[in-house]
């Protein structure tokens, strides 16, 4: 997950209920923020990510559409980064996620569950035709709306196993990205939340996408991706 922090040349002054004043010591420029932007700066500078800021504002202003909040937060963040107020970096240390320790569960898929898997996989493939940023926003929005309603590890494993089985006969591309997103779509259609994770491994360099429940990766039992350890880059 991307991290944000105040630039070393920035100093913060005059915090109040009305906002904050930031001084760029190198350029002798003052920046004034309202209270909402000041709170977002506090969240980001303390290690929170983009979604943490969106969630905080969504809970504070439940009457405002989530997409509006996400758009405004994105515009503010882009402006702060471009102005040099914030710096962007990856966490210096992240724990690798060994897929060999994932929780697989093969189960006999019923005809109705296969039909649901086909629908969800088709929807996932259609979504991935959009800009990936937009897909992430849609998943994040669904997560916020379904907060507090997680899928259990056993349910998630059955969903992933069923989608993976159906994907073997899918006429288009159906790799880890499509399968994991299809599982998230299935959970969303059931008004439940399932964490969608994207990571990277090196030597050789490759990407992977998977789902998690309580930080535990859920992978198909015979997936070759389980042989590697991935550095988690993003969770939605």
Same domain, 178 and 228: yes
Same domain, 103 and 219: yes
* For range 180-200, the mean pLDDT: 85
Same domain, 59 and 131: no
**Using one digit for the tens of pLDDT, what is the confidence trace for 51-63?**
888 888 888 888 8
- 22: domain CATH number is 3.90.930.60
Percent of the chain topping pLDDT 90: 1
**Using one digit for the tens of pLDDT, what is the confidence trace for 136-172?**
777 877 665 555 567 788 888 888 888 888 888 888 8
Same domain, 7 and 118: no
Integer Cα distance of 190 and 55 in angstroms: 21
* DSSP 8-state class, residue 146: T
Integer Cα distance of 157 and 183 in angstroms: 9
* For range 21-50, the mean pLDDT: 82
Integer Cα distance of 141 and 79 in angstroms: 22
25-44: buried (b, 16+ CB within 10 Å) or exposed (e) per residue?
A: eeeeeebebeebbbbbbebb
Of 62, 89, 116, which residue is a domain's last?
89
Residue with tokens 């969240």: 43
Of 54, 89, 124, which residue is a domain's last?
89
Same domain, 49 and 76: yes
Same domain, 139 and 204: yes
Query: Whole-prediction pTM value?
Result: 0.55
Number of domains in the chain: 2
Same domain, 59 and 111: no
Of 70, 89, 108, which residue is a domain's last?
89
Q: How many CB atoms lie within 10 A of CB 1?
A: 17
Same domain, 130 and 228: yes
Would you tell me the crossing angle of helices 66-82 and 35-45 to the nearest 10 degrees?
70
Same domain, 132 and 231: yes
Same domain, 84 and 109: no
What is residue 101's predicted lDDT score, i.e. its pLDDT? 44
The answer on pLDDT for 115 being more than 70 is: yes
Q: What is the mean pLDDT of the chain?
A: 77
Same domain, 141 and 83: no
What is residue 105's predicted lDDT score, i.e. its pLDDT? 47
**Using one digit for the tens of pLDDT, what is the confidence trace for 209-236?**
888 888 888 877 555 555 567 777 777 7
83-92: buried (b, 16+ CB within 10 Å) or exposed (e) per residue?
A: eebbeeeeee
What is residue 14's predicted lDDT score, i.e. its pLDDT? 63
Same domain, 121 and 212: yes
Integer Cα distance of 30 and 105 in angstroms: 57
Instruction: State the pLDDT confidence band at 100, using cuts at 50, 70 and 90.
Output: very low
Domain coverage including residue 176: 96-235
């Amino acid at each position: 997950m991307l991290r944000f922090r105040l630039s070393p040349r920035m100093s913060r002054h005059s915090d109040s209920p009305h906002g904050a004043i930031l001084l760029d010591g190198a350029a002798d420029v003052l920046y004034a923020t309202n209270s909402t932007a000041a709170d977002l700066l506090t969240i980001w500078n303390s290690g929170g990510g983009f979604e943490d800021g969106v969630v905080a504002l969504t809970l504070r202003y439940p009457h405002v559409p989530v997409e509006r909040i996400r758009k405004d937060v994105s515009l503010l963040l882009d402006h702060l980064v471009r102005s040099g107020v914030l710096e962007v970096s990856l966490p210096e240390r992240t724990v690798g996620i060994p897929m060999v320790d994932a929780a697989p569960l093969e189960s006999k898929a019923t005809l109705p569950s296969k039909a649901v898997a086909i629908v969800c996989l088709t929807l996932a493939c259609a979504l991935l035709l959009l800009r990936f940023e937009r897909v992430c926003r849609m998943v994040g929005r669904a997560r916020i709306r379904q907060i507090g309603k997680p899928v259990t590890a056993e349910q998630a494993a059955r969903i992933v196993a069923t989608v993976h089985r159906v994907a073997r006969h899918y006429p288009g591309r159906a790799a880890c990205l499509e399968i994991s997103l299809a599982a998230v779509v299935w959970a969303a259609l059931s008004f439940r939340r399932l964490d969608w994770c994207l990571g990277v491994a090196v030597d050789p360099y490759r990407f992977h996408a998977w789902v998690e429940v309580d930080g535990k990766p859920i992978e198909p039992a015979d997936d070759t991706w389980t042989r590697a350890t991935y550095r988690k880059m993003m969770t939605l």
